[in-house]
Amino acid sequence: MRKIAFFDTKSYDRDSFLKTFGDSEYSIKFIDSRLYEDTAILANDCDAVCAFVNDDLSKGVLDILSSYGIRIVVLRCAGYNNVDLDASYGKIHVLRVPAYSPYAVAEHALALLMALNRKTHKAYNRTRNSNFSIAGLQGFDLYGKSAGIVGTGKIGRIMIDILKGFGMNILAYDYYRDEEYAKTRGISYVDLDFLYKNSDVISLHCPLTKETHHLIDNKAIEMFKDGVFLINTSRGSLIDTESLIYGLKTQKIGAAGLDVYEEESAYFFEDFSETVIQDDVLARLLTFNNVLITSHQAFLTNEALANIASTTLKNLDDFFEGNFLENEICYRCDKKPCKRDLKKNCF
């Protein structure tokens, strides 16, 4: 039986993976800790590693895993900004789950937008406290407003469909435009400045890359329409948080819905309710009553968890049975369109 070191395990991972891996030829070593240089040793008796968004797959960690003879890391997520792809190339195959439920993420982005706009988070607290006043809970109709969607991939497209359903005007931006898609959906691609200047709501659905790091900075925020609602379910570092705080303080930004945060790895997925938050930027963000933060839970639906487990099982089978690694990522595949020979594995 092959053994998989499963880092950063939570109860919901255990449940969904045990259900899917039950009759397979793999045994899972569930490890509560995140993967980083000091914990990599826990994988030294394993054949593969299963990692998540905040696990550290930098060169140092990959070298340690490689020294244990590990040749495959399966990510149980879509994003791979935490992997040093140059360092993995030629040593360790890194596979991911490219799509598990884009609906889950888009629907969560909508939930953040709706809650902030109609102030559901405030109304919930009021009525729980027998306060039935509605003063200050005024929102706006989404109908007829403009939504700027940055990144028209799997999740962005579903967000577009949802918001079109509300009667919103869609302003789409993607580094790689798909004009055919835009034509069939009846939407237009615009340049980023136009999107910033004309959107009432901006939702980020592009990956974190060198080009998109701090995409939303002071310069971008200055261009925003006054009172814009900013939603980020992609990666925290798409936004320069200090600039976001300035934008919120000056009321340039009307509300922010964040499922991700630049420094989330120190806090997200864990319970800190008995301690003092040392991250002053996060602490400041949490003081705004027009900021709604969820801790990277957009993916967390029954369907997504089941798909993550079954694709991870397929990824492991592909590797150990010597098949083509359909979901492999490598430094070459980081560029789009992918230059990889579709019949060959990366190395």
Just list the catalytic residues. 235, 264, 296
Backbone angles phi, psi at 283, to 5 degrees: -60, -40
CA dihedral 7, 13, 17, 19 (to 10 degrees): 150
Among 93, 96, 205, 225, binds ligand NAI (CB under 6 A): 205
Whole-number minimum distance, CB 202 to ligand NAI, in Å? 12
Here the tokens at position 131 are 């306060």
Here the tokens at position 11 are 């109860």
By the 8 A CB rule, do 39 and 33 touch?
yes
> Of 10-49, which residues contact ligand NAI (CB under 6 A)?
none
Question: CB neighbours (10 Å) of residue 103?
Answer: 18
163: exposed, middle or buried (Cβ count in 10 Å: 0-12, 13-18, 19+) = buried
Here the tokens at position 151 are 């990144």
Which CB atom, from 75 or from 325, has the smaller least distance to ligand NAI? 75
Which CB atom, from 26 or from 103, has the smaller least distance to ligand NAI? 103
Based on the shown chain and the rule CB under 6 A, indicate whether residue 207 belongs to the binding site for ligand NAI. Answer: yes
Whole-number minimum distance, CB 185 to ligand NAI, in Å? 13
Here the tokens at position 283 are 């602490």
By the 8 A CB rule, do 237 and 210 touch?
no
For 84, half-sphere exposure in the C-beta direction (CA atoms, 13 angstrom radius) is 14
Whole-number minimum distance, CB 274 to ligand NAI, in Å? 26
Based on the shown chain and the rule CB under 6 A, indicate whether residue 174 belongs to the binding site for ligand NAI. Answer: yes
By the 8 A CB rule, do 94 and 73 touch?
yes
Among 199, 203, 212, 315, binds ligand NAI (CB under 6 A): 212
- Residue 230 neighbours by CB under 8 Å, 6+ apart: 201, 202, 204, 216, 224, 239, 244, 253, 255, 256, 257
Based on the shown chain and the rule CB under 6 A, indicate whether residue 79 belongs to the binding site for ligand NAI. Answer: yes
Question: CB neighbours (10 Å) of residue 131?
Answer: 11
Q: At what angle do helices 120-128 and 102-118 cross, to 10 degrees?
A: 60
Which CB atom, from 43 or from 96, has the smaller least distance to ligand NAI? 96
Based on the shown chain and the rule CB under 6 A, indicate whether residue 76 belongs to the binding site for ligand NAI. Answer: no
70, 135, 315 from 43: Cα distances, Å? 9, 56, 18
Based on the shown chain and the rule CB under 6 A, indicate whether residue 233 belongs to the binding site for ligand NAI. Answer: yes
Whole-number minimum distance, CB 53 to ligand NAI, in Å? 8
Here the tokens at position 68 are 């244990």
Among 28, 74, 260, 291, binds ligand NAI (CB under 6 A): 260
Q: Kindly indicate which of the ranges 22-30, 169-177, 222-230, 326-334 contains the residues binding ligand NAI, using the contact rule CB under 6 A.
A: 169-177
Among 57, 298, 309, 329, binds ligand NAI (CB under 6 A): 298
Which CB atom, from 39 or from 152, has the smaller least distance to ligand NAI? 152
Based on the shown chain and the rule CB under 6 A, indicate whether residue 296 belongs to the binding site for ligand NAI. Answer: yes
CA dihedral 187, 190, 196, 201 (to 10 degrees): 10
Q: Kindly indicate which of the ranges 1-9, 18-26, 57-65, 203-211 contains the residues binding ligand NAI, using the contact rule CB under 6 A.
A: 203-211
Whole-number minimum distance, CB 95 to ligand NAI, in Å? 15
Which CB atom, from 64 or from 106, has the smaller least distance to ligand NAI? 106
Which CB atom, from 78 or from 87, has the smaller least distance to ligand NAI? 78
What residue ranges bind ligand NAI (CB under 6 A)? Answer: 78-79, 99, 102, 105, 150-156, 173-176, 205-209, 211-212, 233-235, 259-260, 296, 298-299, 336
